[in-house]
Structures are given as C-alpha cells and as structure tokens.
Structure 1
C-alpha cells in the first residue's frame, strides 16, 4: 500500500472511531405528514446543493464535500456522545481533527409523502476553527469541535414553506446539539431579514446586535470567538 493510501486509510479509521453510532429515528411534525431525520444516502445529500444554494451557503461545493465525507465514513448519523468520548480521544491523539470535525457534523432532511422537501446542515465551523491562533495548538481546536456547533443553514423548498418543516428542522437540531453536550449552538444571518429574526427568537435563540461578535473565552481559555460581517447578526443558544 502506498504512503498516500495508508494515510487515507488511517484517516478513515480514525473518523469511524470518532463517529457516533447511527440510530436516530425520524421525528414526526404534529398535524402534518412531515418527518425529520438524518439524510439517508448520497441521493439525498446531493439535494443539499439546492438547499445550500437557496441559503447562499456554497451550493455544489457544499454538496460535494458532504458526499465525500459520507463516502469516507466521516459524516455523523447521530450525535449521542455518551459512549464515544474514548473514541474522540483516540482520534485527537492520532491528530485526526478533520475526521472529528465531520463526525460532529450532521445533515438533516425534512420529508413528506413526496420525498425530501428541506434540509439543515450543522456542526463545528471549519472556517472559524481554522483561524485559531497558531500558537494555541490543537487542544483548543478539539474543544471547538466538541463544545461548539454552528447552524450552517436551513432551507425549505418554496412549495413547502409554512408547512412547519423549517421550525421542525431547527428544533431537531437543537435537541441533537444539546444531547451532544456542546456548550453553544449558533449561527448568523443578514440583519435586514426581520423574518429570520422572528424565526430564530421563536425557536429559542438569543439574537445579538448587528455586527457584534461572540465571546467563547469560557470554552477556549483565552479571548477568541467568531466575528460577523458588519451587516450580520449572530443568534445563540447556550446549554451549559
């Protein structure tokens, strides 16, 4: 086996070790045929190209990376970490932080009798964690993976707006992140979208003033946190 193949095999093994076990059932939306569950296969993950494009969140690039992570056994299918702390520690000691990041990332779909009608992607923010001060070393990055989760986007097809699918996706994501023992679930949106402000407040998030960054110093042990663009607002839900 070539060195490159050995490295790929090592990354895949570490990711599988860090990956939570599957088994999260579909959640029904009361009074509707909509159900929420993890994306089941490549065909469903491919639909995240549409939903990511609707949210201006990467479109085909996002879908391609999701499918690659799924095919390599990286992408989480549940986030019950009560029994996988030791596996996370093994992946960390092996230096497989990318594998851990994907193992703590999840893709949810809303489905009805016609098939998938919306999607949500959440997990540690690779962009944010990759900009950690180099002198901090790998340990704060591991803390970011284990203790922070970002709602990257949630989108519902136009024909199914006001079906409750978007709210149900976010409610399911909140439950998953809380169950993962993360400290905070957060996201951001353009401040002039007052409909999103109402949506996230109703979902139980705190909406922060426009252009205000977040302080995660209690997680990292030093002053560091995500910063928005001047026209964006963060929303957060703290669990601990």
Structure 2
C-alpha cells in the first residue's frame, strides 16, 4: 500500500485491489486507456481473484512453485495469474484509478515452443503494464505516477527484470507522463529486444501506431 501525495485537499490511497467490486472496475480502466476486450480483461482478473490465485506469485521465492505449476494441466494460466497485479487508487470513498500489470500472454506464447524453462523465465522476469488509467477529474494530482511507482516496487520485490508497456502514439500527454516517471521510450513502432533486458530470446513489437515504454527493474 502506498499513499499518494495529497492534492486539492484530497487524500489518495494506492493499494492492491481486495474486493470483487474493485476488480469489476478494471473494465473501466482498460477501456479508458484504449485496451481492446476490456470486459474480458476485467473478467479474467475477477476469475483469478475468485480462484485465490491473483498476485500470489509476486515474491522472490515463487520460482520453484512456478516451475511445478507450469507443468500441470492449465498451469501456464495459473502462473500468469499469480504473477499479475491489480492496483487501485482510492479517494473520497471510491476508486479513481487503476493499474493492471503482469506477464504478457503473447510473449509467453512466443516462448512456449522453447519449453517449460522459457515460459517460467518469461513469467518471472517481465512485467507488462496492461492498463493504467485515472478518472479525468483526478488527473494531474500524481495518482497515475503513484500507481506506476507501486507497480515498480512490486516488480522489484518479485525479482522481475523489466517493466514495459505500450500506448497509442497519438494519445496526448501520455509520452510526457511516462518520461516523467523515468521510463525509456522507443521511437513509434520500434520494438524492445528482451535478450539484453531480461535474457529472453524474444522481441516485444508494438503496432505501427503504438509507442513502447520500458525500464529495467532494480535488483
């Protein structure tokens, strides 16, 4: 849990989502930042929460469990859910922002042909920001940065090596936001080679209309 700076007389608390009502709000957060299939994304988070799996693998000692679980039937999905976080920003008695982050299904699918070890490495070493959004009335108060900082802290504490994500290049002010948060930005449409960042034989490639941001996680 991280308190966000006060602004305009409003105190904001950033913490892991605990309740179903908070997780249902992730449909809104995904939709606000233009993520397709927002309803499905929120439903997946809710299901992982109901299954008591969500965020259970965000620790340094999860490696052995991940190797065992990924070998079981449906184990890959369990590992991905365990390494996924859902954070909420709360102010004035309601959620005003949210962040969802964790391994990328697309990346794991790329590496699956290389076997179990590659899948485990991808799940343990990478954290992708799937959605980060704040209600318009609460923007400009440091809430988005507080959410991202909390995600980076969790990534560090769980031994991830890189945090990354992408956004529509045309989105006003988003590039400046990620730069202020200390992220490296690629030129629009250019990929990130994970061999140098996470020792993974894979490249993360955005759409031509998207810009990737990334940052090494301190170890």
What TM-score comes out, normalization by structure 2 length? 0.89
Q: Which has the higher strand share?
A: 2
Correspondence for 2:103 = 124
- Specify the SS of the correspondent of 1:84: helix
- Specify the SS of the correspondent of 2:55: coil
**1:225 pairs with 173, 188, 203, which one?**
203
Q: 1:39 to 1:159 in 2, by over 3 A?
A: same
Q: Could you say what the CA RMSD is over the residues aligned between the two structures, in angstroms?
A: 1.9
**2:76 pairs with 97, 112, 124, which one?**
97
Compare 54-63 and 38-47 and name the one that shifted more. Answer: 54-63
Q: Say whether residues 1:56 and 2:56 are aligned partners.
A: no
Distance (whole Å) between structure 2 residues aligned to residue 91 and residue 193 of structure 1: 39
Distance (whole Å) between structure 2 residues aligned to residue 87 and residue 133 of structure 1: 18
Counterparts of 1:6-85 in structure 2, within 5 Å, are 26-32=1-7, 33-57=11-35, 58-76=37-55, 79=58, 81-85=59-63
Q: 1:91 to 1:66 in 2, by over 3 A?
A: same
- Specify the SS of the correspondent of 1:131: helix
In the TM superposition, residue 74 of structure 1 has moved relative to its aligned partner by 1.7
Distance (whole Å) between structure 2 residues aligned to residue 158 and residue 92 of structure 1: 40
In the TM superposition, residue 185 of structure 1 has moved relative to its aligned partner by 0.3
Asked if the contact 1:111–1:117 (Cα under 8 Å) also holds between the matched residues in 2, the reply is yes
List runs of 5+ in structure 2 lacking aligned partners. Answer: none
Q: Say whether residues 1:214 and 2:192 are aligned partners.
A: yes
In the TM superposition, residue 34 of structure 1 has moved relative to its aligned partner by 0.3
What TM-score comes out, normalization by structure 1 length? 0.82
- Specify the SS of the correspondent of 1:193: coil
- Specify the SS of the correspondent of 1:132: helix
In the TM superposition, residue 221 of structure 1 has moved relative to its aligned partner by 5.2
- Displacement over 6 Å in runs of 4+: none
Distance (whole Å) between structure 1 residues aligned to residue 104 and residue 192 of structure 2: 14
List runs of 5+ in structure 1 lacking aligned partners. Answer: 1-25
Distance (whole Å) between structure 2 residues aligned to residue 74 and residue 197 of structure 1: 33
Distance (whole Å) between structure 2 residues aligned to residue 124 and residue 231 of structure 1: 22
Greater Cα radius of gyration, structure 1 or 2 = 1
**1:110 pairs with 89, 94, 100, which one?**
89
* Number of aligned residue pairs: 212
- Per-residue CA deviations over 1:171-199 (Å, capped at 9, x if unaligned) read 11111112211110000112233511110
In the TM superposition, residue 132 of structure 1 has moved relative to its aligned partner by 3.1
